[in-house]
């Protein structure tokens, strides 16, 4: 039952990643729609820039929260598997007639093999699989993207020269 609990934690983390990535892409599309809608309309451009900046800032904060959730789920799972590793040597199998058999300690053995193959990299609460760290790249990429959008929007708002910036952006100058 405890192993199933750890597996459910992983499933929840993966589902969280899918939904948050979808939401982040939807936010990006919304920002694109606002830019497209306001393009060339000088009277609404200041409002559009303000709205885009606000959305980008909130989206970056959301992605930071998402990143922390991933780390929390990974830490929870690491703790669950540590408990399972501690339990494994104490498990006795009595179904083998009158003899008791000890556990093979699969979790400890698995970590030994991964360490030997150098598949583990440092992580917040210890070691983790290198591939699992790539999971953290997605929210970090969105954080950077939304931060850039926010900073560009703030710069445009400060300069107040919406028409000149649009013309330069379109002409590539």
Helix (H) or strand (E) holding 135: none
Q: Tell me the C-alpha distance between 91 and 82, whole Å.
A: 15
Residue where the block lists tokens 């990535």: 21
Pick from 117, 142, 140, 170: nearest CA to 29: 142
Distance, C-alpha 144 to centroid of its chain? 12
CB of 84 within 8 A of CB of 3? yes
Q: Tell me the C-alpha distance between 88 and 2, whole Å.
A: 12
Q: What are phi and psi of 43, to 5 degrees?
A: -70, -25
What pTM value is reported for the model?
0.69
List, for residues 51-110, the tens digit of each pLDDT value: 999 999 999 999 999 999 888 887 777 777 777 777 766 666 566 555 555 666 666 666
Q: Tell me the C-alpha distance between 158 and 56, whole Å.
A: 16
List, for residues 111-158, the tens digit of each pLDDT value: 666 666 665 555 555 555 554 667 888 999 999 999 999 999 988 888
């Amino acid at each position: 039952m405890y192993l199933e609990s750890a597996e459910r934690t992983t499933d929840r983390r993966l589902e969280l990643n899918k939904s948050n990535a979808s939401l982040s892409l939807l936010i990006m599309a919304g920002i694109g729609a606002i830019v497209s809608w306001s393009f060339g309309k000088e009277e609404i451009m200041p409002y559009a820039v303000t709205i885009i900046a606000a959305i980008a800032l909130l989206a970056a904060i959301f992605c930071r929260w998402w990143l922390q959730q991933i780390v929390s789920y990974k830490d929870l799972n690491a703790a669950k598997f540590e408990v399972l590793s501690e339990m494994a040597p104490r498990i006795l199998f009595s179904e083998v007639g009158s003899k008791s058999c000890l556990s093979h300690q699969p979790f400890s053995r698995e970590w030994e093999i991964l360490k030997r193959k150098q598949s583990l990299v440092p992580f917040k609460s210890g070691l983790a699989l290198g591939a699992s760290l790539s999971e953290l790249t997605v929210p970090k990429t969105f954080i950077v993207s939304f931060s850039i959008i926010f900073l560009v929007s703030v710069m445009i708002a400060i300069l107040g020269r919406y028409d000149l910036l649009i013309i330069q952006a379109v002409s590539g100058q």
